[in-house]
Structure 1
Amino acid sequence: MVAAGALHGIRPAEQPLIDRLREQALSAAGEYRPVLTSFLNPRQRVLADMVAEQAGVELHGAGGFAQAEMQRVLFAPDYFTPEPSDFAVTVLECVYPAKFTSLHHSTILGSMIHHGLDRSAFGDIITQDDRWQLAVTDTLVGFVQSDVDHIGKTKVSWQVASGKDVLRPNVPWRDLTTVVAATRVDAVVAAGFNLSRSQVKELIASGQVQVNWLAEGRADAQLVPGDMISVRGHGRVQLVDILGITTKQRWRVALRVLAK
């Protein structure tokens, strides 16, 4: 589910994506056929939903996994009911010597980028116990299987996973109700990860913090319910709700925290 709060503050850097999505949506409307995008993150899907509404077309999404964060989107006329195959997504399982080594999300992601893959070409990276799976576009299956033969120093191979073999994500979010001085990025991150405000400001200044999948360089940036903050090396914290003001004029907030 895409958070409603992610809609605020469209930035100039997003305009090229909006233009590309608008062109695809208008093609779907004008040619009366479905048009498929690359993988989009939740923030980008909010923009796609805006564009779809303006163009008068329906929006459908899928990413290979249940409740996938990264999804391919179909702009389509209202008559169209998509099948899973229409999204052209394949889930690949990484085969590696799990008894002797371990893999990490960051190393798998880094290996894909190192091999020249744009982040929009592949979707979620999911793990369960010592198993790892990756969603990719159908057209990239052969490339990944033939070219991505190492993750870091570990030799790997890839096999297609389908049906019951596809992992179901189990993300351990923690609910937290707390009090902050302000609904600013630095205050919410500090509360979510038990960091000092000065530590958070250093993280922001060094480009380690994103709000709604966009880099945030201002410690005093205001948040609204639904906003998702990612902090490299720490995890994610979402401002779920603002519950009110205390007698000491501080904000009581509901957060969801996913710590690394």
Structure 2
Amino acid sequence: MSIYDHFRPEERPFIDQVLTWKENAEIRHQDKMTDFLDPRQQDIVRSLIGQQDDVQVRIWGGAEGLERARAYIHPVYLHMEQSDWPLTLLTATYPVKFIQLTHRDLLGALMNSGLKREKFGDMTVEDGQIQLIVARESADFVRMNVTQIGRASVEFQEDSLSSYLVPDEKWIEASGTVSSLRLDAMLSQIYRIARSKASEAIDKGLVKVNWKKIEQTAFMLEQGDHLSVRGLGRSKLVEIEGTTKKEKIRVRWAKKG
């Protein structure tokens, strides 16, 4: 069985990249600090590298409990303290009494500036304060080019990573049975909506699997997949537990509360 058989075909380019990083560490004794990875990519890195005798990986996004993080892949004899991780916290304020900003406003401003999504990690927009973790090499670019978010003029300043306020988010686990691992069937079960409503959300482009928009209702999910439905929140297919005597599939999932 090929290593690719454990992953989806569309993930092959990223798998090849990770295997190259691993080979460079093993054979050429080179270390690698990646760009920001989403949780699915982090799972792939961990599964392909793990903690071997010759090569190790550490993943850090600036604070415990953050979603996006950079991976450090290195020969075992090399080491990097978290304080040396190439991350920068940028903060800004806006007049919350007069202007309402959202996470989406900040994301749009960053993307419109030309900054790649891989160059920044978690962010918060709350109570007149903006916090954004970026790759250290991109901090000056953000400060110079992101000066307007929505109707608010902003000026980012560098701050200590320890000042980042991690949102108090909880994941609530549940389990049940489904007739199929099709995307529409799973969304119906997890979000307690009619299957027709799930199909409609998929058709409208409101659904993402592993941070990629999916518009096929028959898309088959796999254990570990991360899901999001605009307006309904995020969830994760934690485990496929087997089948019942009536050939239903037992699944366990977690939903962000």
TM over 0.5: yes
Distance apart, 1:111 and its partner CA:
0.9
Change over 3 Å in CA distance of 1:19–1:222 after alignment to 2? closer
- Counterpart of 1:73, as a letter, is A
Match of 1:182 among 164, 167, 180: 180
Q: Write the mapping of 1:115-126 to structure 2, written as runs, cut at 5 A.
A: 115-126=113-124
Partners of 1:32 and 1:140 in 2: how far apart? 27
The reply on whether 1:207 has 2:205 as its aligned counterpart is yes
The reply on whether 1:254 has 2:232 as its aligned counterpart is no
The residue aligned with 2:225 is 227
- Segment of structure 1 superposing worse, 26-35 or 133-142: 26-35
Question: In angstroms, what is the RMSD of aligned CA positions?
Answer: 2.9
Distance apart, 1:164 and its partner CA:
4.2
Distance apart, 1:55 and its partner CA:
11
- Counterpart of 1:144, as a letter, is V
The residue aligned with 2:152 is 154
Change over 3 Å in CA distance of 1:131–1:171 after alignment to 2? farther
Change over 3 Å in CA distance of 1:127–1:246 after alignment to 2? farther
Match of 2:73 among 72, 75, 78: 75
TM (norm. structure 1) is 0.83
Partners of 2:101 and 2:236 in 1: how far apart? 27
> Are the counterparts in 2 of residues 175 and 256 from structure 1 also a CA contact under 8 Å?
yes
Change over 3 Å in CA distance of 1:49–1:256 after alignment to 2? closer
- Counterpart of 1:136, as a letter, is V
Partners of 1:164 and 1:85 in 2: how far apart? 10
Partners of 1:123 and 1:254 in 2: how far apart? 28
Query: Which consecutive unaligned segments of at least 5 residues does structure 1 have?
Result: 1-6
Distance apart, 1:102 and its partner CA:
2.3
Q: Percent identity?
A: 34
The reply on whether 1:240 has 2:238 as its aligned counterpart is yes
Partners of 2:96 and 2:148 in 1: how far apart? 14
The residue aligned with 1:95 is 93
Partners of 1:55 and 1:136 in 2: how far apart? 31
SS at 2:205's partner residue?
coil
Partners of 2:110 and 2:48 in 1: how far apart? 30
SS at 1:171's partner residue?
coil
Match of 1:216 among 192, 206, 214: 214
> Are the counterparts in 2 of residues 173 and 256 from structure 1 also a CA contact under 8 Å?
yes
Partners of 2:170 and 2:92 in 1: how far apart? 22
- Segment of structure 1 superposing worse, 77-86 or 102-111: 77-86
Query: Which consecutive unaligned segments of at least 5 residues does structure 2 have?
Result: none
Map Cα deviations across residues 204-258 of structure 1 (whole Å, 9 max, x no partner): 2333322233443432334344322122332212223456767876555433222
- Segment of structure 1 superposing worse, 222-231 or 137-146: 222-231
Change over 3 Å in CA distance of 1:256–1:160 after alignment to 2? same
The residue aligned with 2:46 is 49
> Are the counterparts in 1 of residues 99 and 151 from structure 2 also a CA contact under 8 Å?
no
SS at 2:156's partner residue?
strand
Change over 3 Å in CA distance of 1:226–1:149 after alignment to 2? same
Change over 3 Å in CA distance of 1:82–1:170 after alignment to 2? same
Distance apart, 1:150 and its partner CA:
0.9
Change over 3 Å in CA distance of 1:226–1:48 after alignment to 2? closer
> Are the counterparts in 2 of residues 181 and 250 from structure 1 also a CA contact under 8 Å?
yes
- Counterpart of 1:138, as a letter, is R
Match of 1:28 among 25, 38, 41: 25
Partners of 2:93 and 2:126 in 1: how far apart? 13
- Segment of structure 1 superposing worse, 79-88 or 216-225: 216-225
SS at 1:170's partner residue?
coil
